[in-house]
Structure 1
Amino acid sequence: MNILLVEDDVALANALVKTLTHEGFVVNHLKHGQQAINVVKTEPTDIVILDLGLPDIDGLDVLRAIRQHTAQLPVLILTARSSIDDKVSGLDLGADDYLAKPFEVDELLARLRVVERRSSSSKHAGLQIGDVELDTACYGLSVANEAVDISRREFTLLKALMENAGRVLTRESLESKLYSWNEEVASNTIEVHIHHLRKKLPKGFIKTLRGVGYIVKPA
């Protein structure tokens, strides 16, 4: 899952990036609301964690702008504003969840897992193509009803391809789902992940369009 963290408290943001990355999430951090609005409109993002007390514009205005652009992108508000009125305002404007500071990291992780399951379920009730099936709740892969070991990044890569079955995904678009902006990515990284995946999947399941990208054909 690709997370956009919008938080102006640098110390808190750094701690969250470290924790969420350790949990297998891809995290990009911004301090300003207008930057977040621009990124949501131009970069692939799976969920936004949004502080309300931002230095340039109010977080609720950021939420309003996000909802004007898309109704599907999950937004979790993470803020020191803990009054009932603040929570009602955030939820009424379209936030999917609201967590007040201070908070326990375990609770944040649990809420992210809920949002992730809900998002995957709303997009695809079951990701299955032929004999290949992904369990989006448990990060599991089975081929011909046999469980297959798969890493978190391999799962994320295969999930993107299966969700977009019939469409070619470029190497750059796949990299954005697996790595944050500040991570150095070797030129052949996606090719290596694809190579490992192909060993676990039926022959020809992932096809290469040279110079373009990769595609999984629908069943």
Structure 2
Amino acid sequence: EANILVVEDELKLVEILKRTLSENFNVTVFNTFDEVAALLEHSSIRFDILVLDRMLDQKDSLTLIAPLKEKFPQIKVLVLSAINTPSEKASALDLGADDYLSKPFANEELLARLKVIAKRMPSELRFGNIAIDMLERTAKVAETDLPLATKEFLLLRAFLKSPGKVYPKSVLYEEVWQTSADIESNAIETTVNKLRRKLEEAGASASIKNSRNLGYWLEE
């Protein structure tokens, strides 16, 4: 399932969107311009699709698209707007939006558009002889299936998105557990050790390295 961030300040509409999208996507909701802007400074949580309300707190949310795509190149953006003019749509697309839907809209149309966007996203990540299919949530080493628990898969996905990148523990909390709050102190170590062992036993060409002061990374 793709991870979708819905940014909408109309709370009644937010509840409708959550009900509409939750059966097909993992949905996170923000309500303010500043919450989205904070992603540029502090967050490493990766969203696949951003559903962005055109105006937030009387601020132009289109100004966020370019910097968000610079930090998260894989993200797709669908803009929701009460402004329904060709020039407005063209402006949003020129600024990096992948789609534009005018309010009011049918929930079925929004869902259909998001499914189309999700299908256009690359579903496979590879590094060495390790591969995962993000839509099917399956993993392979040298074309042999590698059974993984959910957290192990999410951890491997994080490493495969940026091989060689060092992930501090705090970043993995957000990336894998989708929270910045404390979880069991040994949760990351336990999950990393299980994944590391499975990769080694399967003959993976890359392995998980770690430094106590830095974090974890995937290296051939």
Gaps of 5+ in 1: none
Sequence identity of aligned pairs in percent? 29
Give distance in 1, aligned partners of 2:114 and 2:54. 19
Q: Shift of the alpha carbon at 1:171?
A: 1.4
1:13 counterpart = 2:17: no
Give distance in 1, aligned partners of 2:114 and 2:68. 26
Q: Could you tell me which amino acid in structure 1 is paired with residue 119 of structure 2?
A: V
Q: How does 1:17-166 map to 2 (within 5 A)?
A: 17=18, 23=24, 25=26, 27=28, 29-44=29-44, 45-46=46-47, 47-57=49-59, 61-68=60-67, 70-71=69-70, 72=73, 73-100=75-102, 101-104=105-108, 106-107=111-112, 109-114=114-119, 116-117=121-122, 126-129=125-128, 131-166=129-164
Contact 1:30 1:36 (C-alpha < 8 Å) held by counterparts: yes
Q: How does 1:171-186 map to 2 (within 5 A)?
A: 171-181=169-179, 185-186=183-184
Give distance in 2, aligned partners of 1:155 and 1:108. 27
> TM-score, normalising length from structure 2?
0.73
User: 1:186 aligns to what SS in structure 2?
Assistant: coil
Q: Could you tell me which amino acid in structure 2 is paired with residue 212 of structure 1?
A: L
Contact 2:53 2:79 (C-alpha < 8 Å) held by counterparts: yes
Q: Deviations over 1:156-175 (max 9, x none)?
A: 32122123222321111112
Contact 1:32 1:54 (C-alpha < 8 Å) held by counterparts: yes
Q: Shift of the alpha carbon at 1:35?
A: 3.3
> TM-score, normalising length from structure 1?
0.74
Contact 1:26 1:180 (C-alpha < 8 Å) held by counterparts: no
Q: Shift of the alpha carbon at 1:181?
A: 4.3
Give distance in 2, aligned partners of 1:116 and 1:184. 32
User: 1:202 aligns to what SS in structure 2?
Assistant: helix
Residue-pair matches, total: 207
Give distance in 1, aligned partners of 2:81 and 2:61. 14
2:168 corresponds to which of 161, 167, 170: 170
Give distance in 1, aligned partners of 2:152 and 2:170. 16
RMSD: 3.3
Q: Shift of the alpha carbon at 1:94?
A: 1.4
Gaps of 5+ in 2: none
User: 1:13 aligns to what SS in structure 2?
Assistant: helix
Q: Deviations over 1:144-202 (max 9, x none)?
A: 22112334543332122123222321111112112344877333332333233234312
Contact 2:76 2:117 (C-alpha < 8 Å) held by counterparts: no
Q: Could you tell me which amino acid in structure 2 is paired with residue 12 of structure 1?
A: L
Give distance in 2, aligned partners of 1:185 and 1:21. 24
Q: Deviations over 1:30-62 (max 9, x none)?
A: 2222332232333224343201142331xxx32
